[in-house]
């Protein structure tokens, strides 16, 4: 696909292939991995603004980064403009020049709390949130869906509001909230938003191959694409999209395991890497039996030995 640099506020990223923020997955080790495979921009897992305000230790752990990872953006969620600005100004967000506001999360717990995609039904409040966050001095971007349901599409209006409030880039997931992560991506809704604003637009949804990415760009006119669920099963999809050389699954796993160990305790490392290894074994011969063995690993050393045997 055609790679181009993207200017976001006063920052320029290397290419227009982004990695989506995925709760429970896009931690430090995963981001460092996919950045090495060519992703132009990675995001932290979705972080609660209230969690930062009230000193949640777990919330701050989600924002771990270092010089080895390189440039990265943080994503936060919430529904109170002042609390969202407080989060942007929090010490834990100092390493992140870009802060993305989540207006797309469809998870019932978030939605029922008036956060994430619930704000698609309250565009005035969403606008106020972005305006307040811009006052922090951070580069503010926004990620949102095309609406909560097919009869409540808001893409064009919401995009204009985000631009007017001071967002430097928007990412649009081309599905409604009620579709969660299934169903067809609505290319035309993303295209409408692209035609309506001057800031860069990144299209999200249904990218599992280079052909998918090219189709999404061609049919929406977007400036870039964002890869989400595909990176769980195949982080090296970014190699295909950016022209980098793939490596073996074992090499990939060993890097991810090493970087997880560096910043997490034994228990988290074991649980997380069992889960990731199970994703990567999909499609391999004897995958079901291999998954069962991986999930039975009782220690990181046992898991490492199994990885070397299976992959």
**Active-site positions?**
105
Distance of CA 285 to the CA centre of its chain: 30
Where are the extended beta strands (E) located within 192-288?
201-204, 224-227
Phi, psi of 103 (to 5 degrees): -120, 25
E strand or H helix that includes residue 12:
strand 11-13
Q: Alpha-carbon distance 262 to 279, whole Å? A: 22
Residues 260 and 277 sit within 8 Å (Cβ to Cβ): no
- What Cα–Cα distance (Å) separates residue 283 from each residue in 198, 287, 291, 311? 42, 7, 11, 12
Phi, psi of 172 (to 5 degrees): -120, 120
Distance of CA 123 to the CA centre of its chain: 22
Sequential DSSP letters for 166-188: T-SEEEEESS-GGGTT-S---HH
Q: Alpha-carbon distance 137 to 89, whole Å? A: 8
């Amino acid at each position: 696909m055609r790679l181009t640099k993207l200017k976001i506020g006063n920052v320029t990223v290397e290419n227009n292939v982004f990695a989506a923020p995925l709760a429970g997955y896009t931690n430090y080790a995963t981001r460092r991995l996919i950045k090495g495979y060519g992703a132009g921009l990675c995001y932290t897992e979705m972080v609660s603004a209230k969690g930062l305000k009230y000193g949640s230790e777990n919330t701050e752990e989600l924002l771990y980064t270092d010089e080895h990872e390189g440039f990265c953006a943080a994503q936060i969620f919430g529904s109170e403009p002042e609390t969202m600005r407080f989060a942007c100004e929090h010490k834990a967000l100092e390493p992140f020049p870009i802060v993305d506001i989540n207006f797309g999360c469809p998870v019932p717990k978030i939605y029922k709390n008036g956060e994430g995609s619930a704000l698609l039904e309250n565009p005035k409040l969403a606008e106020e949130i972005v305006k307040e966050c811009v006052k922090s001095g951070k580069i503010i971007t926004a990620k949102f869906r095309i609406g909560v349901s097919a009869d409540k599409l808001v893409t064009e209006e919401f995009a204009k509001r985000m631009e007017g409030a001071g967002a430097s880039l928007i990412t649009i997931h081309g599905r409604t909230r009620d579709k969660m992560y299934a169903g067809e991506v609505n290319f035309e809704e993303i295209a409408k938003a692209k035609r309506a604003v001057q800031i860069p637009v990144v299209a999200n949804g249904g990218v599992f191959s280079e052909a998918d990415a090219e189709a999404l760009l061609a049919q929406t006119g977007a400036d870039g694409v964002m890869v989400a669920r595909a990176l769980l099963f195949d982080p090296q999809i970014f190699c295909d999209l950016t022209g980098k050389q793939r490596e073996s699954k074992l090499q990939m796993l060993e890097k991810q395991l090493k970087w997880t160990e560096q910043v997490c305790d034994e228990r988290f490392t074991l649980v997380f890497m069992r889960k990731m290894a199970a994703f990567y074994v999909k499609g391999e011969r004897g995958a079901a039996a291999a998954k069962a063995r991986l999930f039975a690993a009782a220690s990181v050393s046992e898991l490492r030995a199994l990885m070397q045997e299976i992959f």
